[in-house]
Structure 1
C-alpha cells in the first residue's frame, strides 16, 4: 500500500498485460491507462518471464508504475489488500496469463469473445494438451476419441467445443468482474457463459486518441513522398496489422478491377504483415509483377499511421470472421476525416458516424468495394478546409471516448471488482 497524491492509501494493483516493445494492440491499450491507474493504485505490471528484460528497458524512466516478472508476482502472494487485473485478448502474448487466471482470479478486460487462437497457440507450445482435456472432464464434457492422442491429450481441436463456451467459462468462473467494449460482445459473452455472475460486468467503449501529427508537418510530407503519394493521388488505405482476417484478398481483387480506369488511385496497406496468415506481398507480386501494385509500409508508429489516415480519401476497416473484437482503428480512421468502409457484422455497426459506411459481408463484397473505390475516384477533390471540417466534426462526436473521459468508469469498475473479490 502507498499514498495517492491526496494522501489516501492506494491499494496494490497487479496488471497482467502485453507491453511495449511488443507490437500489440493490447499493449498500446494498456499503456494509455497506466498513468491514470497509477494515480489511484500502486501499479505493478506483471509480464511474461521471457519479456521482463525488454519491457523494463522500454519503460519510461519517469513512469509511475513498476515492471515485475511472474516469479516476483508469485512471491508476493497472498496479498489480501491487493487486486489483479488481466488485459486479455485472443493473442499469443497472453498465453502466459492462463495459469495465473486460474490461481489468482481478477478483473478481466476481455477484448475478444472468442479465445480460439489463444487456445491454439497455447496448445502448440505444449501448455494445454492434456490440461484442456482434464478441464472438459471436470466440467462433464467428453472429448471425441478422434481428437485424442494415445496418451489422452488433445490431438486436434474440435473448434466450436472450445471457441467460446468452455474456455471462457473456465477463465471467467471466479472473475469478480469482466469489462467488454460493445453491446455485441456483451450479448455474445452472455450466450457463451450464461451461468456467469453478471454483477461485475460492465461495458466501456474502446478509447480513441486524437491524431498525433498534423498533415502538413515536415515528417508527414516526407512519409507521403517516400510512399509516392502526391497531391494528384486518391489514397486508399488499409490501416493496422495485416492479419489473415482483414479481408486483404477482397481489397486487392477490388483494386485490381478499378485500377485500369482510375490510375490516380493509390492503395497502401499501412501495417505490419503476418505472412503466416496471409502472404500479402507475395499476392501483390503475382498480380502486379511490374511493381505498379499496392504498397505495404510495414509497421508504423502512431504518428505515421495518423499521417496516412489524415490523408486517406477512403479507408478500409474490414474483418471477417469477427467475434466481438473492437479495436480503436475504426473510430481512429473516421477521425482522419476521409470516408471509411467497414463490415456490417459483429460490433462494427455499433459505431455510427457519417464518415463510415458498413458493407454487407457476402458474395458481393468485392464488387461493393470496387464500387466504393470508383466513387471516391470520381468525386471532386476536397480542399484543406473540407478535410479540417470533417476532422473537427468527428473529434467533437468522439470527445467522450478519450482515456481521460473513460477512466472514471474504469476506476469505479475496479472498485466494484475489489469489493466483490474480497472474502
Structure 2
C-alpha cells in the first residue's frame, strides 16, 4: 500500500504530533506498506529523525497532483485549528479515512473560518449541520458562551459525511459518532504506546537515576508528575492541594510539571499562593525525547481531565506504558482502561479528597504503588503495543 497522511509532526507542541510520529514509524516497518507520504501545513520544519526510505514529508499543496497515487488517504484531525485547520478543505475534496482524535471539531472549524476572516464559511458549516439552530448558535458564540456551545454542537457532521470511514481511539467516541451518523463506517483502534527512537535502548533504572540527579531530587524522594499543556480543565489546583497534604507526612517530596501553562492560566500564581514554590518544578515545553525522558523520574503520574471532548488523553497511555502508577479522571473516554491498571477518580465533589487519600497511600505503600504500576504497564503492552496498533490500521485500510 501507498498511504498519504495529513498530520502535524514534531516540533509542533501537541500530543497528536508525537502520536503521529510513532504511528508512522510503526506503519513503515510493515511489509504491506511500500510508501508513506506525510502532508504537512508548510509553516514549520518537521523534525526528520524518524524518516526512512519509505517515508517522505511533503507540503500539503503537493497533494492534489498526487492524490491518485495512494491506496489510502488519512487525515488525523483534532480540535486545534492552528495545527489541523489546513486539512479541512482536503477532507471534503478528497474523501479518505479520518482519525477523529476529538469528537468535537467546532473550535478547529471556527479558527479555520472566522479566524481566517471567512465568517461566511463558518455560517455555511453551521447551516449544513444544524439548519434552523445555526443563527442561535452563532449568537451564543458571539455572546461568549463558546465552551458550552462547543460541547453541545460538535460540528463534525459534514466531516463524517465526507469521510470514507472514521477511526477513533475509544468506544465512547465511537458511540458519539454513531449517534450523529448511524451509518458511519467506524473502527476503534487505541493509541499506540512507543518510546521516541532516541530512547529505544534506554535502561529505565539508569534513566530514572539520571533524571532525578539532573532535577536535584534525592534517590529516595517521592516524585509526582503531570505532563502536557496545562489548562484549568486538568485541575492542577486539586492535584497540588492533594500533593501539599502528602508533604505534611512524607519528607523529600516533589511535584514535576513537564510542560507549560496556557497563556490564560496563571499556574505559577497558584503555586506561589499555595506556598509550593520550592517543591514544584515546571520544565516548559521540551522535544519529544526529552519530554518522555523526564517521565522516568516519577513515582506517580497524575492526569486529570474534565470536562472532555471525547478523545482519549494520550499522556496516561505513556505514563502507564513506562510502568508509572497513574491517577486519571474517571471519564467516558478512559472507560476502556480498567480500574487497577490505573486509579480512576470520579469528577465529583469528593474528587480532591479521593485524590489526596490515593496519593498518600501511593506515597507510603511501595507495594501498592508497584502493583498499580505493573498492572498499567502490562495492560498497555497487551493492548497498545505499537506493532499491533500499526497492523490494525493496515488491516482496516485494506477493508476499504
* Alignment partner, residue 415 of structure 1: 398
Q: Deviations over 1:102-128 (max 9, x none)?
A: 211110111111223323433562255
Relative distance call for 1:260 and 1:156 in structure 2 (3 A) is: closer
1:116–1:164 contact (8 Å) kept in structure 2? no
Q: Deviations over 1:8-65 (max 9, x none)?
A: xx4x4221000122132212212222244344243211111323xx12x636563422
* Alignment partner, residue 421 of structure 1: none
1:17–1:46 contact (8 Å) kept in structure 2? yes
1:314–1:339 contact (8 Å) kept in structure 2? yes
* Alignment partner, residue 111 of structure 1: 101
1:131 Cα deviation from its structure 2 partner: 0.8
Output the CA distance in 2 between the equivalents of 1:294 and 1:315. 14
* Alignment partner, residue 274 of structure 1: 261
Output the CA distance in 2 between the equivalents of 1:143 and 1:390. 47
* Alignment partner, residue 97 of structure 1: 87
Q: Does 1:239 align with 2:227?
A: yes
305-314 vs 342-351, greater mean Cα deviation? 305-314
CA RMSD of aligned residues (A): 3.2
Q: Secondary structure at the match of 2:122?
A: helix
Structure 2 length normalisation: TM-score? 0.85
Q: Secondary structure at the match of 1:134?
A: helix
Unaligned runs of 5+ in 2: none
Relative distance call for 1:190 and 1:234 in structure 2 (3 A) is: same
1:229 to 188, 207, 217: 217
* Alignment partner, residue 141 of structure 1: 132
The number of equivalent residue pairs is 390
* Alignment partner, residue 263 of structure 1: 251
1:109–1:179 contact (8 Å) kept in structure 2? yes
Q: Does 1:49 align with 2:42?
A: yes
Structure 1 length normalisation: TM-score? 0.81
Relative distance call for 1:73 and 1:338 in structure 2 (3 A) is: closer
Matches within 5 A, 1:324-403: 324-352=310-338, 354-379=340-365, 381=366, 394-397=376-379, 398-403=381-386
Q: Deviations over 1:276-303 (max 9, x none)?
A: 24232232233327x3231112234555
* Alignment partner, residue 252 of structure 1: 240
Output the CA distance in 1 between the equivalents of 2:265 and 2:321. 28
Output the CA distance in 1 between the equivalents of 2:171 and 2:50. 35
Relative distance call for 1:59 and 1:224 in structure 2 (3 A) is: closer
Q: Secondary structure at the match of 1:188?
A: helix
Q: Deviations over 1:220-267 (max 9, x none)?
A: 433212322212311112133323322112112222334334333211
Q: Does 1:209 align with 2:194?
A: yes
1:183 to 171, 179, 184: 171
1:19–1:31 contact (8 Å) kept in structure 2? yes
* Alignment partner, residue 4 of structure 1: none
1:258–1:370 contact (8 Å) kept in structure 2? yes
2:192–2:386 contact (8 Å) kept in structure 1? yes
1:15–1:45 contact (8 Å) kept in structure 2? yes
Q: Secondary structure at the match of 1:58?
A: coil
Unaligned runs of 5+ in 1: 1-9, 418-423
Relative distance call for 1:127 and 1:155 in structure 2 (3 A) is: farther
1:158 Cα deviation from its structure 2 partner: 5.8
Relative distance call for 1:35 and 1:343 in structure 2 (3 A) is: closer
Matches within 5 A, 1:1-16: 10=1, 12-16=2-6
1:179–1:204 contact (8 Å) kept in structure 2? yes
2:98–2:167 contact (8 Å) kept in structure 1? yes
* Alignment partner, residue 274 of structure 2: 287
Output the CA distance in 2 between the equivalents of 1:157 and 1:353. 35
2:75–2:98 contact (8 Å) kept in structure 1? yes
Choose 1 or 2 for highest CA Rg: 1
1:236–1:314 contact (8 Å) kept in structure 2? yes
Relative distance call for 1:177 and 1:400 in structure 2 (3 A) is: same
